[in-house]
Homo-oligomer: A and B are copies of this chain.
Amino acid sequence: MSEKEPTAPRSGERITIREVAQDAGVSVAAVSKVLRDAYGVSDALRAKVRASMAKLNYRPRASARGMRGRTYTIGLIFPDLRNPFFADIYAGVNSALERTQYQAMQGVNTTSGALNITSGALIEAMIDRQMDGLVVIGPNMETQALADLGARLPLVVLGQHNHAGDAFDTVNNDDQLGARLVVRHLVANGYSNIAMLSLSPQNSSIIQQREIGYRLEMMEQGCGDAINILRETQVLRDVQVSVRRLLSGADRPEAIFCWTDLMAFEAISVATEMGLSIPEDIAIVGYDNTMFCDLAQNSLTSVDQSGELLGLQAARLLVERIDGRTTAEHFMVPPRIVARASAGTRTEQE
């Protein structure tokens, strides 16, 4: 009944490494080694320890591990949760981590406004919580800020084309090519006056890349005169206003290439409300190829950037970095256009 004995295996609380060691008849250090797959353990010892761990249903505590080693937790930082595209990325990350000890925890970096804060509150919170590494998705941070962050812990940036030496890895779809594919597809279907509804503020390299792709392809297709980029925030009302203005102008474009599917859905909505038919009066193209594109009421032609693959690669690269890689790697997946009715073959003009 004495509770003061230092080696008493207090049964009420959670199992610790000490109790596993005792049960297996080995040292605490040996159990730790097995836990970490560290060098210097015989098969016999490993089996013994594994058996005890299973028997006692032992689970190591991340806090304690984090004190000296890793927490086996990686942070995922999303810019937003409303866009179902991010669910694909998440799925990819998880499937990459499935067979590892790592676990992903996510959050949304709610940097209100377009502040150039070094890093959001969530990033700091994740560092406080000893994340072994971070995957930051579509950040609106300066490259330098990302480089500083990469100096502090393993970092993979998803949706950012700029490199900064070996500070971090990047994972992207080829945004320039994606934009080119859209223009090519539209031109092939008979459209030439194609406007681009891009994102504001235009501080991200993916935005730049996509705009460059649009510009170059428009020129190569002989539509240079029709180049027209307008930029808008993701706020629904703003998008509506912009699209309405665009569609009611004197030289209404024949097609709009939208920054995301979400914006494209808004565009479809506004066009529908204005009594325009799609694609006869106006063609719409989105980006991300989210699940909603398939719905008959949208039938949105979109660019698939394989969110799941992006997430998978990001997680893979991050684990490599945590395991010691110090040189940067950059992964790029080719986009693919998925044609639907919203940008179908252009019919006779009235």
Contacts and interface: CB of A to CB of B under 8 A. Distances in A.
Contacts of A128: 59-62
Most buried by B among A66, A110, A273: A66
Given A128-B60, A129-B63, A265-B292, A110 B84 contact: no
A19 to B, nearest CB: 16
A8 interface: no
A81 B91 CA distance: 9
Interface string A102-117: 0111111010000000
B292 A292 contact: yes
Stoichiometry, as copies per complex, reads 2
Most buried by B among A82, A84, A108, A236: A82
Contacts of A268: 295-297
A296 B106 CA distance: 33
Most buried by B among A80, A104, A105: A105
A125 B105 CA distance: 10
Contacts of A66: 61-63
Contact of A266 (B108, B236, B295): B295
Interface string A74-112: 000000111010110010001000000001111110100
B71 A63 contact: yes
Interface string A225-255: 0000000000010000000000000000000
B130 A63 contact: yes
A298 interface: yes
A71 B129 contact: yes
Contacts of A130: 61-63
Contact of A291 (B59, B67, B82, B90): B82
A35 interface: no
B110 A107 contact: no
A269 interface: yes
A129 B296 CA distance: 44
Given A63-B71, A64-B67, A272-B296, 20 more contacts: A59-B124, A61-B130, A62-B66, A62-B128, A63-B63, A63-B64, A63-B65, A63-B67, A67-B67, A71-B129, A81-B86, A104-B107, A105-B107, A105-B129, A265-B292, A265-B295, A265-B297, A269-B295, A272-B297, A297-B297
24 contacts: A59-B128, A61-B128, A61-B130, A62-B128, A62-B129, A62-B130, A63-B64, A63-B129, A64-B67, A67-B67, A73-B129, A81-B86, A81-B90, A82-B87, A103-B129, A104-B107, A105-B107, A106-B106, A266-B295, A268-B296, A268-B297, A269-B296, A270-B296, A297-B297
